[in-house]
Amino acid sequence: MAERETLEVDVLIVGGGPSGLAAAYHLRSLNPDASIAVLEKGKEIGAHIISGAVMDPRGINELMPDWKEKGAPVERPVREDHVTYLTSNRKFDLPIIPPPLKNHGNYIISLNKFIRWFGEQVEKNGVDIFAGFSGADLLIEDGAVAGVRTGDKGIDKHGNKKGNYEPGIDIRAKITILAEGSRGSLTKQLVQKFKLDAGRNPQVYTVGVKEIWDVPSQKGVDGRVIHTMGWPLTTEEFGGGFIYNMADGRVSIGLVVGLDYLDPRLDPHKRFQEFKTHPYIRTILEGGTLYSYGAKTIPEGGYWAQPQYYFNGGMIIGDSGGFLNAMRLKGIHLSFKTGMLAAQAASEALAADDFSEARLKRFHDLVESSWVKEELWRVRNFHQAFEHGFLSGMIHTSLQMATGGRGLRNRYTNHPGHARMRKVLEYYNGAVPAPVEAAFDRKLTFDKLTDVYNSGTDHDEDQPCHLVVLEPDICTNRCTKEFGNPCQHFCPAAVYEWTDANRLQINASNCVHCKTCDIMDPYQIINWVTPEGGGGPGYEML
């Protein structure tokens, strides 16, 4: 029988996105002798990376001042900013761009392409990157994280070992840095176990659903950034659209929807398809073709919703630690910077041979005295202000901007997003309309399966389901009646299908790893765990 291997390193970083790679790169320059390993669940670096994206270069400038000379792939510097309010058939441009949405000096990038390039730089610097390995479990000893066990490979869907069975590896580390992105599965385990969210606001999320288009008529449009408010979202919903002109006529288009909506039938993917049918948006995409698709959640709770991001044996950085400025719709620069600050704290802890929580609190102190704190503090109450709808949110936001982020009080609280969802009868006042089948023309609008095909998603079908429904009886006995099984609506990849036999069918191989189900299920009984390493999306240009 195959033996479980053990690997010992000084620092293990879980996640090869901007924050994890920044931590690896910076730590290598601070401490050339440290052994550093990066675990990445995608089949290669960048495969699971997706963002809008307009990058504020502040983080990468500090991390690698000559990033442009080194050939970092940038689509276009931002040249034009537009903010527009949509009704179902008209648009109203804001005469003045609100300061948080001004993008002069920023760059339109494909984060996925950028991170592929950055991963190469990190490897050239002598860091070991293990792509295709998922972190399945934390190794916890004496109240401290001592590393991570990677997922077993070669287990069939019934839990039996196949001919190619390989047990996961125990990667033991003095310091484990969690950089798993939004709603990381190890981070979730750790926060619950060590109660790292005690006294904090509940984290709230949005989901961004996006496509990349090839549009010949957009080839001459250089560096244009459009943000939209309003339709197809209603005033009780949080979110908005974006359209960014990339190089060579490529257009990045998406809709971000708050995962704290009330309507149990809301379908973010469907709303995004509707968004493209607006006369204004339709004109932009005219004559173009779909290139790729993806979806991800975004942690939007801000400063008050961040967990304690240091603990015995490690730290939490980037999206996993809630480092995101929701008002500016930006987190990449904060990911780079928090990766750097965690690397500094790790380097000092290695020198002192002390990996305790008290020592690693240094990371918190570094964050608090950096521009990360300054930036997050100014927007600390942003998302919470929208709990009572768009109009009230805009009024509070103006007030917060005038008072350095305070608004009416220092700390606004909020409810977890899933707890805000209304039961079907309650939401529709007892008169539930019959479901309307959406019509997709497959030219401008696409069904979920076609979009999933364009995400390059691939999982070995013969493996245990990575979407673990903890109490399946609730789905049939309560959820159908109470919420109408919202998983079939909120999943942007048609993973959850409700069959005629009143049975939930989980098409796990479609999963694009967005984590919406883990966040938005009203009973919190869907647990997203890592599938076999290497499975998942194969994102291109996203």
Cβ-based nearer residue to ligand SF4, 391 or 438: 438
Determine the Cα–Cα distance for residues 144 and 231; give it in Å rounded to an integer: 48
In the complex, least distance from residue 456 CB atom to ligand SF4, rounded to whole angstroms? 14
In the complex, least distance from residue 440 CB atom to ligand SF4, rounded to whole angstroms? 18
Assess 421 for contact with ligand SF4 (CB under 6 A).
Answer: no
In the complex, least distance from residue 537 CB atom to ligand SF4, rounded to whole angstroms? 9
In the complex, least distance from residue 259 CB atom to ligand SF4, rounded to whole angstroms? 10
In the complex, least distance from residue 515 CB atom to ligand SF4, rounded to whole angstroms? 5
Site for ligand SF4 in 237-256 (CB under 6 A): none
Assess 514 for contact with ligand SF4 (CB under 6 A).
Answer: yes
Scanning 428-515, the segments in alpha helix (DSSP H) are: 448-453, 472-474, 480-482, 487-490
Cβ-based nearer residue to ligand SF4, 225 or 495: 495
Scanning 286-330, the segments in alpha helix (DSSP H) are: none
In the complex, least distance from residue 185 CB atom to ligand SF4, rounded to whole angstroms? 10
Determine the Cα–Cα distance for residues 229 and 249; give it in Å rounded to an integer: 24
Cβ-based nearer residue to ligand SF4, 385 or 467: 467
Determine the Cα–Cα distance for residues 442 and 404; give it in Å rounded to an integer: 46
Q: Prior bond to 53 cis, omega within 30?
A: yes
Cβ-based nearer residue to ligand SF4, 250 or 489: 489
Burial 246-275 (b: 16+ CB within 10 A, else e): beebbbbbbbbbbbbbebbbbbbbbbbbbb
Determine the Cα–Cα distance for residues 399 and 385; give it in Å rounded to an integer: 10
Cβ-based nearer residue to ligand SF4, 184 or 492: 492
In the complex, least distance from residue 425 CB atom to ligand SF4, rounded to whole angstroms? 24
Scanning 292-433, the segments in alpha helix (DSSP H) are: 332-352, 357-368, 371-378, 390-402, 417-420, 424-427
Assess 293 for contact with ligand SF4 (CB under 6 A).
Answer: no
In the complex, least distance from residue 261 CB atom to ligand SF4, rounded to whole angstroms? 14
User: Per-residue string for binding with ligand SF4, 474-513, x by CB under 6 A?
Assistant: -----------------xxx-x---------------xxx
Contact 108, 53 (CB under 8 A): yes
Assess 516 for contact with ligand SF4 (CB under 6 A).
Answer: yes
Contact 488, 532 (CB under 8 A): no
Would you state the structure tokens that stand for residue 521, as one six-digit string?
A: 């299920």
Assess 517 for contact with ligand SF4 (CB under 6 A).
Answer: yes
CA distances to 13, 159, 216, 303, 310 from 38, in Å:
5, 28, 39, 27, 19
Determine the Cα–Cα distance for residues 114 and 67; give it in Å rounded to an integer: 11
Cβ-based nearer residue to ligand SF4, 84 or 185: 185
Determine the Cα–Cα distance for residues 221 and 337; give it in Å rounded to an integer: 31
Candidates 528, 533, 534, 542; binder of ligand SF4 (CB under 6 A) is 528
Assess 261 for contact with ligand SF4 (CB under 6 A).
Answer: no
Would you state the structure tokens that stand for residue 120, as one six-digit string?
A: 């190469």
Kindly state the number of chain residues that form the binding site for ligand SF4, as judged by CB under 6 A: 13
Cβ-based nearer residue to ligand SF4, 169 or 526: 526
In the complex, least distance from residue 431 CB atom to ligand SF4, rounded to whole angstroms? 29
| DSSP labels, 108-157 | E--HHHHHHHHHHHHHHTT-EEEET--EEEEEEETTEEEEEEEPPEEE-T
354 Cβ contact list (under 8 Å, min separation 6): none
Cβ-based nearer residue to ligand SF4, 303 or 490: 490
Cβ-based nearer residue to ligand SF4, 266 or 511: 511
User: Per-residue string for binding with ligand SF4, 145-164, x by CB under 6 A?
Assistant: --------------------
In the complex, least distance from residue 466 CB atom to ligand SF4, rounded to whole angstroms? 8
Cβ-based nearer residue to ligand SF4, 122 or 512: 512
Determine the Cα–Cα distance for residues 24 and 470; give it in Å rounded to an integer: 36
Cβ-based nearer residue to ligand SF4, 230 or 492: 492
Would you state the structure tokens that stand for residue 301, as one six-digit string?
A: 């709770």
Cβ-based nearer residue to ligand SF4, 74 or 508: 508
Site for ligand SF4 in 103-122 (CB under 6 A): none
Assess 515 for contact with ligand SF4 (CB under 6 A).
Answer: yes
Determine the Cα–Cα distance for residues 85 and 385; give it in Å rounded to an integer: 19
Cβ-based nearer residue to ligand SF4, 84 or 510: 510
Contact 415, 260 (CB under 8 A): yes
In the complex, least distance from residue 113 CB atom to ligand SF4, rounded to whole angstroms? 22
In the complex, least distance from residue 514 CB atom to ligand SF4, rounded to whole angstroms? 4
In the complex, least distance from residue 475 CB atom to ligand SF4, rounded to whole angstroms? 14
Determine the Cα–Cα distance for residues 37 and 14; give it in Å rounded to an integer: 8
> Element (H or E) spanning 92, and its range?
strand 91-93
What burial class does residue 461 get, using C-beta atoms within 10 Å of its C-beta: 0-12 exposed, 13-18 middle, 19+ buried?
exposed
User: Per-residue string for binding with ligand SF4, 433-472, x by CB under 6 A?
Assistant: ----------------------------------x-----
Give the footprint of ligand SF4 on this chain (CB under 6 A): 467, 491-493, 495, 511-517, 528
